[in-house]
């Protein structure tokens, strides 16, 4: 594992982060020779789920879905 002094890490932070991402090799940041932090590459991104169709197969039909929910006598528009 490569080690880098904290002062150099501060000055070249973005470049170090990009190198870790590209090479997938971690870098240890030290202060006066003692480890302070380790910069490790990110874990693999989980496959993104698509929201369209995410509820497929979760519903169930109970009863009759074709006939009206209420009685036709209760509909004011049909009484005219």
What confidence tens digit (pLDDT) does each residue in 13-57 have?
999 999 999 999 999 999 999 999 999 998 877 777 778 888 888
What are the sequence ranges of the domains in the chain?
1-32
Please state, in angstroms and rounded to a whole number, the distance separating the CA atoms of residues 64 and 26: 61
pTM of the prediction? 0.54
Please state, in angstroms and rounded to a whole number, the distance separating the CA atoms of residues 17 and 15: 5
């Amino acid at each position: 594992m490569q080690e880098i002094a904290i002062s150099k890490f501060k000055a070249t932070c973005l470049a170090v982060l990009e190198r870790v991402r590209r090479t997938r090799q971690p870098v240890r940041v030290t202060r006066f020779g003692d480890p302070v932090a380790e910069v490790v590459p990110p874990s693999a991104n989980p496959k993104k789920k698509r929201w369209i169709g995410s509820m497929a197969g979760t519903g169930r039909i109970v009863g009759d879905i074709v006939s009206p929910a209420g009685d036709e006598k209760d509909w004011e528009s049909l009484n005219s």
